[in-house]
Amino acid sequence: MKKNRVFLFITLSAVTFPLFLVFFFAQLPESVPMQFSLTGKVNWSLPLNVALFAFVAFFVVFVGQVYFRFRKDESYPIKDSVVAILLPFMFIAILVFAMIIT
């Protein structure tokens, strides 16, 4: 995919995560479940602020490594581009799931 188009899509998808937080932060639980047992019970969870920091840090590191790894190429690989675009939506899905089960 061309760099300009991918950068636009990554930026637009990255903006959705802060917008989600602005509208739904008051409804988010104090802890975000991260692991479940085979019976469906929560094994461990992260405090909300740690989970949000981890999500943002992971996104920044992933997009940064894609940018710097392929900075001399004319386009980004499709797999890396799609993952970078979908990461904020995955984080939103995790938070929505946490809101549902708590």
Assess if residue 54 is contained within a domain.
Answer: yes
Which residues, at least 6 apart from 83, have a Cβ–Cβ distance to it below 8 Å? Answer: 62
Q: For the segment 85-95, what is each residue's pLDDT rounded down to a tens digit?
A: 999 999 999 99
Could you tell me the pTM of the whole model?
A: 0.83
Assess if residue 101 is contained within a domain.
Answer: yes
Low-confidence residues of the chain: pLDDT under 50: none
Domain count, the chain: 1
Supply φ then ψ for residue 71, to 5 degrees. -65, -25
Domain with 1, as residue range(s), is 1-16+46-102
CA-CA distance, 15 to 95, in Å (whole number)? 16
Assess if residue 98 is contained within a domain.
Answer: yes
Assess if residue 3 is contained within a domain.
Answer: yes
pLDDT of 20 reads 94
Assess if residue 74 is contained within a domain.
Answer: yes
Assess if residue 24 is contained within a domain.
Answer: no
Assess if residue 83 is contained within a domain.
Answer: yes
Residue with tokens 């949000």: 52
Assess if residue 97 is contained within a domain.
Answer: yes
